[in-house]
Amino acid sequence: MSDQTNSTPSPATPTEAPAMTRRRVIQTAAVATAGLVIDPALRAAAYAQGSDKPEKEEVRIGFIPLTDCASVVMASVLGFDKKYGVKIVPTKEASWAGVRDKLVNGELDMAHVLYGLIYGVHLGVSGPKKDMAILMTLNTNGQAITLSKKLADKGAVDGPSLAKLMASEKRDYTFAQTFPTGTHAMWLYYWLSTAGINPMTGAKVITVPPPQMVANMRVGNMDGYCVGEPWNHRAIIDGIGVTAITTQDIWKDHPEKVLGTTGDFVKKYPNTARAVTMAVLEAGRWIDASLSNKNKMAETIADKSYVNTGVDAINQRILGRYQNGMGKTWDDPNHMKFFNDGAATFPYLSDGMWFLTQHKRWGLLKAHPDYLTVARQINQIDIYKQAAAGLKINVPKDPMRSSKFFDGVVWDGKDPAKYADSFKVRALAA
C-alpha cells in the first residue's frame, strides 16, 4: 500500500481469528511443517497452539529511544504479539553498551539493536565474544549526520566544506557516534573519509548514547554527530544543528537496526523467535501501510515511556518531509521504511558482510574473517522465511544484493576482502 492510503487497518486480535478445533489446528500445523503457503490466520494459530507453540511466552525486548524502535513497540501496543502466542515486554535502555551487556548476560531476550553491534559481539571486537543472531532487519534509511550551527555559520554544511574548514582553522574537531562497531560509526567514518578526513587520525571520535546527542551538542561537546531520528531533526528544532547529509543519501535503502538476540536463544526457543519475528513484521507492515498509521505511531512512541520527545520531532521525517536547518526543504522518497513490501526487513547476508568489511577497514578486525560464513551464522534467514511465509510476505530470491554508495563505489558481497582493502582512507593498522 502507498503512503497515500488513508485507511487505518485495525490490528487483529486472537478473539477475531476464526474458531479452530483441535483437529483443525493439528491439520494446519502439519501443512505448515510441509512448507506449504497457507492462510496466515491458520498458520498463526498453528504456531500459537499446535506443535510450534512458543517455548517462552514472555519476551523482554530492549530498545533505545529512537524512531526506529517503532515496530517493536507497536507490536506490543497493538497486540500483534498476542496473535502468535507471545507477550512482548519492551524495556527502555540507556545506551547501546547497556543493550549489549543485557543481551549477553540474558537480562534481555532480544533487542532493537545496531546491526554492527551484533556482528561485533559475535566476533569479540565490541565486548565479550558470544554467538549472536539477527532475526530480521527492523528498518532501512532514516539516520543523518548533524553538524553544529557554529560550524554551519562558518560555511561547513557538507563533507567538502567541512574538510575545507578543518584545513583552514586548525584545532581538535570532535564527532560523535553511538557505538564503536555500530551503524552510526560506520556511516560517519564513510562520510568523513569520502571528504578526505581520516576519522582515525584527522578528528576525535567519541561515543555518546542517542538521547544524549542534542544535549551534548548544545553545550559544545562535539562539532557533529551521526545518530538516528528524531535526534537530528530535534537539533534543527532547537536551533543548534543542521543536517549535512542523510544516511539514505550515503547508501540508499541501507540496513539499520535489527531484531537481535543470542545464538543460544534461537537454539533454545526457535518457535518463540519465529513468533516474535511474525509479530514485529506485522507491526512494520502496519506502520508503512498509511499516513494515518505513521502518525499514530509517532504519537505513540513520542510518549515518555518510549522516545520522550515532541511528536513534531518524529512525524515529519517518517513521512519523508525533510528540512536541513538552513532553509532547504524537500520530500525524500527514501525516508525510513519499516516494511517496504518485505524489502526493508529481509536480513540480507551481504548487508551483514558489509559491516565486517568496514570493521576490517578501520582496524577493528585485525585480519579478514570468513565473511560469508559469519553472515550465515548470524542472519537467521530460515526463521525469517518461515515467518514471512506465514504472513504472505515477499522474500527476495537472493540473500545477496548490490548497492551503489554516494561515492560511486558498488558493494555486492562477491569479493569482500578485496573490497575492504580497496579504500585509500583507512586505519593505519588495517
Q: Nearest CA to 142 among 245, 291, 239, 294?
A: 245
Under the banding of pLDDT at 50, 70 and 90, the label for residue 33 is: very low
108, three cell numbers: 534481555
CB 342 within 8 A of CB 355: no
Is residue 167 domain-shared with residue 150, that is, in the same domain? yes
Please report the pLDDT score of residue 51 as a whole number.
76
379 and 261 inside one domain: yes
Residues 387, 281, single domain; the answer is yes
Cα gap 372→370, rounded to integer Å: 6
Which of these three, 253, 284, 314, is where a domain ends? 253
94 and 158 both lie in a single domain: no
| Residue 359 resides in a domain | yes
pLDDT digits (tens, 9 = 90+) for 337-385: 999 999 999 999 999 999 999 999 999 999 999 999 999 999 999 999 9
Quick count: other Cβ atoms within 10 Å of Cβ 356? 29
Last residue of a domain, one of 221, 253, 285: 253
Q: How far apart are CA 17 and CA 9, in angstroms?
A: 15
pLDDT the model gives residue 8: 35
C-alpha cell at position 344 = 526493508
- Residues 104, 65 share a domain: yes
Task: Say if residue 36's pLDDT is above 80.
Answer: no
pLDDT at residue number 37: 39
Look over the chain and give the mean of its residue pLDDT values, rounded to a whole number.
90
Which helix (H) or strand (E) element contains residue 422? none
Give the mean pLDDT of 127-153: 97
In a domain, 364, yes or no: yes
Q: pLDDT at residue 404 above 80?
A: yes
Q: Is residue 96 part of a domain?
A: yes
The answer to whether residue 49 scores a pLDDT higher than 60 is: no
pLDDT of residue 398: 97
Does residue 29 have a pLDDT over 90? no
Residues 6+ apart with CB under 8 A from 62: 90, 91, 92, 93, 98, 99, 102, 103, 108, 110, 111, 112, 113
Whether 155 is covered by a domain: the verdict is: yes
Task: Check whether residue 43 and residue 161 sit in a common domain.
Answer: no
Q: What is the CA radius of gyration of the chain?
A: 21
Same domain, 44 and 107: yes
Does 200 reside within a domain?
yes
- Does the residue 413 lie in any domain? no
Residue 393 has pLDDT above 60, yes or no: yes
Q: Are 379 and 352 in contact (CB under 8 A)?
A: yes
For residues 313 and 318, give the distance between their C-alpha atoms in angstroms, rounded to a whole number. Answer: 10
Residue 250: helix, strand or coil by DSSP? helix
Global pTM value:
0.89
CATH of the domain at 179: 3.40.190.10
How high is the pLDDT of residue 154? Answer: 98
pLDDT band at 127; cut points 50, 70, 90:
confident
Q: In what order do the strands lie in the sheet with 110-114?
A: 87-92, 58-63, 110-114, 257-262, 132-137
Model confidence at 18, pLDDT cuts 50, 70, 90, reads very low
Number of domains in the chain: 2
pLDDT tens-digit series, residues 261-290: 999 999 999 999 999 999 999 999 999 999
Together in a domain, 226 and 280: no
How much is the pLDDT for 48? 53
Residue 7 placed within a domain: no
Residue pLDDT, tens place only, 184-214: 999 999 999 999 999 999 999 999 999 999 9
Q: Is the pLDDT of residue 40 over 80?
A: no
pLDDT, residue 360, reads 98
Residue 22: its pLDDT value, please?
37
Is residue 25 one of the residues assigned to a domain?
Answer: yes
According to the model, what pLDDT value does residue 19 have? 34
Is the pLDDT confidence value at 429 over 90? Answer: no
Residue 17 has pLDDT above 80, yes or no: no
**Averaged pLDDT for residues 47-56:** 78
What mean pLDDT is predicted for residues 249-256? Answer: 98
Whether omega for the bond prior to residue 18 falls within 30 degrees of 0, making it cis, is no
pLDDT tens-digit series, residues 310-339: 999 999 999 999 999 999 999 999 999 999
pLDDT of residue 276: 98
Domain housing 238: 143-253
* C-alpha–C-alpha distance, residues 65 and 92, integer Å: 7
* Same domain as 154, residue 106: no
Say if residue 57 is in the same domain as residue 84.
yes
Say which residue, 406 or 430, is predicted with more confidence.
Answer: 406
On whether both 84 and 176 belong to a single domain, the answer is: no
Pair (248, 265) in one structural domain: no
